[in-house]
Structure 1
C-alpha cells in the first residue's frame, strides 16, 4: 500500500466528515423519542411517527412513498392511474371516453360558433364509433333502459349491476330472438331486485316499463327458467319497511306488522297469496292495533293493491294472530 493510500484510510478511520456525522446523528435521534428516549414507530395510516412508549407524535404529515396508482380490480393486479372502475352497466364496461357537452375549453372559456359545430360533429361520430355492430347497439339500449327503470324505482347500485349481468347472460345465450329488448330488460331488473331482497311489485315495475304486465311476467318466467336463476319466493315482510316509511307509520306499528306476518306464516295463512297484498294488509292492521290514523285508501295508493284485497287480507291476519296467541297461551298453560 502506498503512503498516500495509508494516509487516506487512516483519516477515514480516525475522523468522518462533518456533514456525514451530522446526518448519522440526525437519523439516530429520529429513531428515539425526544421526551422519554423510547423507540418510535411509523403510523402509515395516519402519516405520523409516534413513540411506542409514551405516545408522543414526533412527526406528522409524512410523505406517502407508496405507489401512486390505484387498483380497481378484485385481484389487485390492475395498476390503473386514472379512470373509474369498470362496470357492467355500460356496454363497453366503462372503458371508453366521453366528449363533454359543456362547449368550454380547458380554461373555462366558451367556444366559438365554428368550434362548437366541430365539437358537435365529433360527438356524433364518437357515439357512432362506440358501438361496433347491432348487438352492441341493442346492449347499449337495454342497459340504458335498466338504469332508467332502476332510477325510477329507487333501486340501489348492486341491483342495477346484477340486472346488467342477467341481461348479458340472456344475450349471450340467444334468448332475445322473438322478444323485445325492453321486455327482457324489465324481466332482468325484476329478477335482480328479487335476488337482492329489495323486491318491487309487478305493478310498480309495469308502471315504469315500456311493456305490459302480461309480457313482463311471461318474459320473466322464460328468463328464470332458461338461465336457471335462483330466485326465492317473495317475503311479504320485505315490503313492510317501504310501505311503513311512505305512510309515516310508527316503529311500533312496523314491528306489529312484521309480527302479524310472522304469525300468519306459521299458521299457513300467507301460502298462495300475493306478498304485496299481505304486506299492505299487515300495515293497515298494525295501524289499527296501534291506534294510528291510516285509511285503506291511503294504504291502497302506496301499495298499489285494491281496497278489497286489503280488507280481506287484514281480517285473515288478525284471525291468525288470535289463533296464534291462543295456541301460545295453551302451550304455556300445559307447560
Structure 2
C-alpha cells in the first residue's frame, strides 16, 4: 500500500513560525489512513524538544527562552483580572486598576477623586467630610428610589431592562420637578406601570396596586401625567439612556391578548407555547363579540385560556385560572358562557384537524 512521506523540516524552518511535530504519523482508523494534524510550537533555531517557551504578556509575544526568537505575537493574557475590594479594604492596599463605571442614572460627573479611609482620626474625618459633600441629598433620594424600584420589580419578576426604564423615568420626573409634593410611592408605581407598557410586558392596575398598595385611581392619575411629560420630551427631541424617549409611543388600554402569555406560563401547561398561541387568537376574536363588549380584558383573557385548555385536552379549572388572573371564578364562567355559542366562529379548523389534536366535544357547556 502506498504511503505519504512526511515533509522535510527545512520546509517549515522559517523564523517566527511554528513547526509541526516531527512525529507526524499515519494512524489507521477503521481501515483508513489519516494524517496526524496535531501541531506543537517549537523554535526552528534551537529545535529543542520539549520547547522552552516563555509568554510575555506585557508585550503580547511568545518568545523562545533559549535564544530569544519571537515565535508568535498577539498572545491573549488568560490570567485573572484584579478585582475591586475598595469597600472592604482598611489597609490602603487596593489592587484595583480603575474606579467604578459611570452611572447614567445619577447626577454629576462621578469622576472626582475619592479620599481613602486611612489610619488616624484626621484621615477618617477627612474621608467622612468628603462623603458628606459628595453624597448630596438629591443623590440619596435617587438611590433610595432606585432600591425600592428594584425590590418591587424583583417581587413580580420584571426584567432588568424594564427596571432601568422605570428608574430613568423617575430621574426625569426628579429633574423636571413634575411631582413636587406628591408621595414617592405613587410616582414609583406610575413609573413601573408605564415602563412595563413600553417594554411590551404590560401589568394591570390591579397588579400594580397589589404590589405597591397605591390606589388604582392614584396610579391612573400619575400615569396620565407621566405620559404627557414623555410626549413633551419626545417632541423636544430629548434622548434617554434606557427608554429612548424620542421613540416613545402612547399606549392604549392593555388588551386581553397581551395578558394571555403570562397567564399561560404560570398555569404550567404541557405545551404552554401552543396554549399561548390559541388563547391569543381566541382573545382577539372574542373582543369583537357584542356580548363581551365592555368587559374587562382580564375576564376575556381568562375565559379564552379556559376554552383553549379544554379544547386541546389539557383542561384547567376556572378556579386555577382565577387564582392566576386575579378575577373571580364566576366572572370567568360568565364570560365563557358568552363565548360558547360562537365557538364555531372563534375556533379555527387547523386546531381541530387532524384527528388527535383539539376536539370540539371537549368544551364544557358552562
**1:303 is matched with which residue?**
325
Kindly report which structure 2 residues correspond to 1:218-257, keeping only aligned pairs within 5 A, or say none: 218-228=221-231, 229-233=248-252, 234-251=254-271, 252-257=274-279
Please say if 1:175 is aligned against 2:178.
Answer: yes
Measure, in 2, the Cα distance between the counterparts of 1:90 and 1:278.
42
Measure, in 2, the Cα distance between the counterparts of 1:90 and 1:236.
37
Please say if 1:286 is aligned against 2:308.
Answer: yes
Q: Is the 8 A contact 1:194 1:231 kept in 2?
A: no
Kindly report which structure 2 residues correspond to 1:158-197, keeping only aligned pairs within 5 A, or say none: 158-197=161-200
Taking a change above 3 Å as real, the CA distance of residues 327 and 286 of structure 1, as seen in their structure-2 partners, is closer
Q: Is the 8 A contact 1:269 1:316 kept in 2?
A: yes
Taking a change above 3 Å as real, the CA distance of residues 218 and 97 of structure 1, as seen in their structure-2 partners, is farther
**1:39 is matched with which residue?**
none
1:131 to 135, 152, 175: 135
Larger mean CA deviation between 81-90 and 241-250 belongs to 81-90
Partner deviation per Cα, 1:264-305 (whole Å, 9 max, x = no partner) = 357688875433332222212222223434222221121112
Measure, in 2, the Cα distance between the counterparts of 1:166 and 1:267.
37
Q: Is the 8 A contact 2:13 2:19 kept in 1?
A: no
Measure, in 2, the Cα distance between the counterparts of 1:94 and 1:148.
25
- Aligned with 1:154: secondary structure? coil
Higher relative contact order (CA 8 A, sep 6+): 1
Please say if 1:275 is aligned against 2:294.
Answer: no
RMSD of aligned Cα (Å)? 4.5
- Aligned with 1:168: secondary structure? helix
Measure, in 2, the Cα distance between the counterparts of 1:31 and 1:271.
77
Deviation at 1:139, TM superposition (A): 2.0
Measure, in 2, the Cα distance between the counterparts of 1:291 and 1:210.
39
- Aligned with 2:249: secondary structure? coil
Query: TM-score if structure 1 supplies the norm length?
Result: 0.61
Aligned length: 260
Q: Is the 8 A contact 1:87 1:161 kept in 2?
A: no
Measure, in 2, the Cα distance between the counterparts of 1:309 and 1:83.
57
Please say if 1:208 is aligned against 2:220.
Answer: no
Q: Is the 8 A contact 1:253 1:283 kept in 2?
A: yes
Larger mean CA deviation between 272-281 and 298-307 belongs to 272-281
Q: Give the structure with the higher percent helix.
A: 1
Measure, in 1, the Cα distance between the counterparts of 2:275 and 2:99.
47
Query: TM-score if structure 2 supplies the norm length?
Result: 0.56
Structure 2 unaligned blocks of 5 or more: 1-10, 23-35, 42-52, 61-73, 82-95, 115-123, 232-247, 351-366
Structure 1 unaligned blocks of 5 or more: 1-24, 37-53, 70-79, 99-118, 329-335
Larger mean CA deviation between 136-145 and 315-324 belongs to 315-324
Kindly report which structure 2 residues correspond to 1:27-42, keeping only aligned pairs within 5 A, or say none: 28-31=14-17, 34=20
Deviation at 1:226, TM superposition (A): 2.4
